[in-house]
Amino acid sequence: MSPIEPSNRLIVIVGPTAVGKTETAIQLAEQFDGEIVSGDSRLFYRGMDIGTAKPTLEERQRVPHHLIDVADPTEVWSLGVFKNAAKRAIAGIHARNRLPFLVGGTGQYITALIEDWSVPPQQPDTKLREVLEGWAQIIGNDAIYHKLAILDPQAAKNIDPRNLRRTIRALEVILKTGKRFSEQRLKGESPYRVLKIGLKRPRQALYQRIDQRIDQMLKAGLVDEVKNLLERGLDATSPVFSTIGYREIAAYLQGKITLDEAIGLIKKNTRQFVRRQANWFKEHDPQIHWFDMNEKTTREIADLIHGWLKEA
């Protein structure tokens, strides 16, 4: 294996939703002349600001950010599209002699990039996809997800049961190739020299922050944001409505549940999402340097980065 050039360094900051990745990453990028590449699959989409806790314009002015507001909610930014775009963004940061920070909570996307997964090249089969979508309407989303879990337990483990689009995509690839979806993502050799940093909080403290964040989203206009998306004609198959917060508020606006029920579901589903994120970012992973969030955390991480940058 040839040595990785220092210019290919990449700092990765991971952790559960609401742990404090955004502000920590901005402070570190300011200190180390860095730029931030989003590793959050919901920040790609324009018009999804409040419900995704997207960095504010003021925060983005402090440090250059990449892969935020790069697609319409009607588009689908697949894993392969993200991987190529992130590589281009990181190459540009290196070309400017700056330090890239890959930041986010979408474990699959981050892992695929830094491990250089070989993403299944299978082209979409529109007819098969329509058949699967029709089947889902007949038997229900839970039942079709159960079919995937039988055919490919590992793929199902990494897919949100409510994310019908990804469930159908996995089934489509399995049925077209005759191979498990999870087996077709082969790990390659990372093109980067990676320093992986994990942020954590005690579970109950994290849940409290999640509840406070959701309450603040509602005060900031989450209901109106979802209403605007619905008025644009977006439906349940768009990426918007596989996102926690948007699907529950949409159900409220459609008269299916009350607002209080929607809020309760958002909080419950976000906690479940945090537990799924832990499948990607494990506290016993020796490749991740974990830090408990407190007033000293940023300084402690900065000390780690200083030492890492001095290494040959």
**Is position 17 annotated in a ligand binding site?**
yes
Alpha helices in 54-118 (DSSP H): 57-62, 79-95, 107-114
Starting at the edge strand found earlier in the chain, the sheet holding 288-292 runs 65-66, 34-38, 99-103, 9-14, 193-200, 288-292
**Is position 258 annotated in a ligand binding site?**
no
* One-letter amino acid for residue 184 of the chain: Q
**Is position 155 annotated in a ligand binding site?**
no
**Is position 167 annotated in a ligand binding site?**
no
**Is position 136 annotated in a ligand binding site?**
no
Sign for the pseudo-dihedral over CA of 237, 277, 288, 187: negative
**Is position 52 annotated in a ligand binding site?**
no
Residue 35, number of CB atoms within 10 A of its CB: 19
Q: What is the dihedral of CA 219, 220, 222, 224, to 10 degrees?
A: 100
Alpha helices in the chain (DSSP H): 21-31, 57-62, 79-95, 107-114, 126-139, 141-151, 153-157, 164-177, 203-220, 222-231, 246-253, 259-280, 297-310
Going by C-beta distance under 8 Å and a sequence separation of 6 or more, which residues neighbour residue 149?
A: 156
Hey, is 11 helix, strand or coil?
A: strand
Cite the annotated binding site for ATP by residue number.
15-22
Cite the annotated binding site by residue number.
15-22
Cite the annotated binding site for substrate by residue number.
17-22
